[in-house]
């Protein structure tokens, strides 16, 4: 909760004292977080969409059938973001927290390392950006990881970078609040009964990150589509990334699950040995054969790198034949010798 309050304070600080800018002898009161360089102004806002132009990409049918919630969020974010359009062409000096350059560089480097470690594909994309945008994206991703307690030893690092980023780019707090709601959904560990529910989850945990990055990425001055179209594109990319991560993580988490279950199975096989020793002599060989062959199936799963979704773990005929004499030898051990 403290970290959430700290994040909110970052945006509150950026919007606390409006700056007065005179343009054509008209005073305009502008939030400091909306004051960016002329270069930023040329790419962050989309021009008004001409009435004669229609979008070539229709919204997914899914959005028309029960995902109005995320649509409303997009509309609100675009509306709030568009407030910057009247001031992005101006530059002024506004109150901004001062951080020592060496501290900032060290903090950005740390967030870069976090991104490189936990989001390798995402990080690769940032390497193709300008240095200023790289740092902003690393700060956004690092701030997300920070809220998920990945930086327990130094939680202020990424919050400091978010503060620096907010004063460079017109980030709005709405996507951050929605992202925090996604983290709450993770804590509740709800099951999602249908794809519409999963879609909303993807919006909160990943689509929001796409929305955060739009002001950083910028919109081309020659763009002829609406800002909402561009924000929707960022949302869909975030959702697509999250769905891909889910598909990938199923394999990774299943692998860890399989390791645990193999350890558990072997534990029960070990417990079963005592009972096998005490069976009737005529029954011990088949039981030992079964026990030892099933252990080899576990070995085969490990040999397949725990991939039992695309590969079938099995014991070959030769291994089976070689196992039978070993099982026979085990079966010949009298119960009286087991505890000696």
> In the chain, how many domains are there?
2
Q: Mean pLDDT throughout 308-320?
A: 86
106 and 221 assigned to the same domain: yes
Whether residue 307 is predicted with pLDDT greater than 50 in this model: the reply is yes
222 and 145 assigned to the same domain: yes
pLDDT attached to residue 171: 84
Residue 148 is part of which domain span? 2-44+68-80+99-250
In this structure, is residue 264 part of a structural domain?
Answer: no
Last residue of a domain, one of 235, 250, 265: 250
Under the banding of pLDDT at 50, 70 and 90, the label for residue 326 is very high
Percent of the chain past pLDDT 70, that is, above it, reads 69
20 and 103 assigned to the same domain: yes
Q: Count CB-CB contacts under 10 A for residue 288.
A: 25
Rounded to whole angstroms, the Cα distance separating 143 from 162 reads 7
153 and 31 assigned to the same domain: yes
Whether residue 329 is predicted with pLDDT greater than 90 in this model: the reply is yes
Q: Mean pLDDT throughout 97-108?
A: 81
300 and 161 assigned to the same domain: no
Whether residue 8 is predicted with pLDDT greater than 80 in this model: the reply is no
Q: Over the chain, what is the mean pLDDT?
A: 73
286 and 234 assigned to the same domain: no
The CATH number of the domain where 16 resides is what?
A: 1.10.600.10
In this structure, is residue 304 part of a structural domain?
Answer: yes
Assigned token pair, 93 = 């000096």
Rounded to whole angstroms, the Cα distance separating 239 from 203 reads 6
Whether 143 contacts 213, CB under 8 Å: no
In this structure, is residue 159 part of a structural domain?
Answer: yes
142 and 194 assigned to the same domain: yes
Whether residue 56 is predicted with pLDDT greater than 70 in this model: the reply is no
Q: Which residues contact 333 (CB under 8 A, 6 or more apart)?
A: 277
Rounded to whole angstroms, the Cα distance separating 335 from 340 reads 10
Convert the pLDDT of each residue in 171-230 to its tens digit.
Answer: 888 888 898 888 888 888 778 888 888 888 989 998 898 889 888 888 878 778 788 878
β-pairing, 19-23 vs 26-30, is antiparallel
Q: For every residue of the chain, which 3-state class applies, written as one string? A: CHHHHHHHHHHHHHHHCCEEEEECCEEEEECHHHCCCHHHHHHHCCCCCCCCCCCCCCCCHHHHCCCHHHHHHHHHHHHHHHHHHHCCCCCCCCCCCCCCHHHHHHHHHHHHHHHHHHCHHHHHHHCCCCHHHHHHHHHHHHHHHHHCCCCCCCCHHHHHHHHHHHCCCCCCCHHHHHHHHHHHHHHHCCCCCCHHHHHHHHHHHHHHHHHHHHHHHCCCCCCCCCHHHHHHHHHHHHHHHHHHHHHHHHHHHHHHHHHHHHHHHHHHHHHHHHHHHCCCHHHHHHHHHHHHHHHHHHHHHHHCCCCCCCCCCCCCHHHHHHHHHHHHHHHCCCHHHCCC
Q: Mean pLDDT throughout 154-168?
A: 76
Under the banding of pLDDT at 50, 70 and 90, the label for residue 299 is very high
pLDDT attached to residue 339: 59
In this structure, is residue 111 part of a structural domain?
Answer: yes
Residues linked to residue 21 through DSSP beta bridges, in sequence order: 28
242 and 318 assigned to the same domain: no
14 and 72 assigned to the same domain: yes
11 and 73 assigned to the same domain: yes
pLDDT attached to residue 6: 52
12 and 151 assigned to the same domain: yes
Q: Mean pLDDT throughout 311-319?
A: 88
Assigned token pair, 305 = 């790198």
pLDDT attached to residue 62: 42
Whether residue 34 is predicted with pLDDT greater than 80 in this model: the reply is no
Higher pLDDT pick, 36 / 155: 155
Convert the pLDDT of each residue in 222-259 to its tens digit.
Answer: 778 788 878 888 888 888 888 888 876 666 678 888 88
31 and 153 assigned to the same domain: yes
């Amino acid at each position: 909760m403290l970290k959430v309050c700290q994040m909110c304070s970052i945006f509150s600080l950026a919007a606390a004292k409006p700056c007065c800018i005179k343009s054509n002898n008209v005073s305009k009161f502008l939030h400091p977080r909306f004051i960016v360089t002329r270069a930023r102004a040329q790419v962050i806002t989309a021009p008004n969409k001409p009435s004669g132009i229609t979008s070539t990409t229709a919204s997914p049918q899914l959005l028309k059938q029960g995902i109005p919630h995320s649509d409303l969020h997009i509309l609100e974010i675009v509306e709030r973001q568009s407030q910057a359009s009247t001031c992005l062409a101006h530059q002024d000096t506004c109150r901004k927290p001062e951080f020592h350059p060496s501290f900032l560089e060290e903090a950005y480097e740390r967030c870069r390392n976090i991104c490189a470690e936990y989001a390798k594909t995402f990080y690769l994309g940032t390497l193709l950006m300008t240095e200023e945008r790289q740092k902003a994206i690393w700060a956004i991703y690092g701030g997300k990881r920070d809220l998920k307690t990945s930086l327990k030893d130094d939680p202020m690092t990424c919050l400091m970078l978010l503060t620096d980023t907010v004063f460079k780019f017109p980030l709005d707090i709405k996507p951050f609040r929605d992202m925090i709601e996604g983290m709450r959904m993770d804590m509740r560990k709800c099951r999602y009964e249908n794809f519409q529910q999963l879609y909303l989850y993807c919006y909160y945990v990943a689509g929001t990150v796409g929305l955060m990055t739009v002001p950083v990425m910028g919109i081309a001055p020659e763009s002829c589509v609406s800002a909402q179209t561009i924000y929707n594109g960022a949302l869909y990319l975030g959702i697509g990334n999250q769905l891909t991560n889910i598909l990938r993580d199923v394999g990774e988490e299943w692998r860890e699950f399989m390791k645990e279950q193999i350890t558990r199975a072997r534990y029960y096989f070990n417990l079963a040995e005592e009972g096998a020793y005490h069976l009737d002599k005529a029954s011990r060989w088949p039981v030992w054969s079964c026990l030892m062959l099933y252990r080899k199936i576990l070995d085969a799963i490990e040999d397949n790198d725990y991939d039992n979704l695309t590969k079938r773990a099995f014991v070959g005929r030769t291994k089976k034949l070689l196992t039978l004499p070993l099982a026979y030898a085990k079966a010949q051990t009298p119960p009286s010798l087991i505890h000696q």
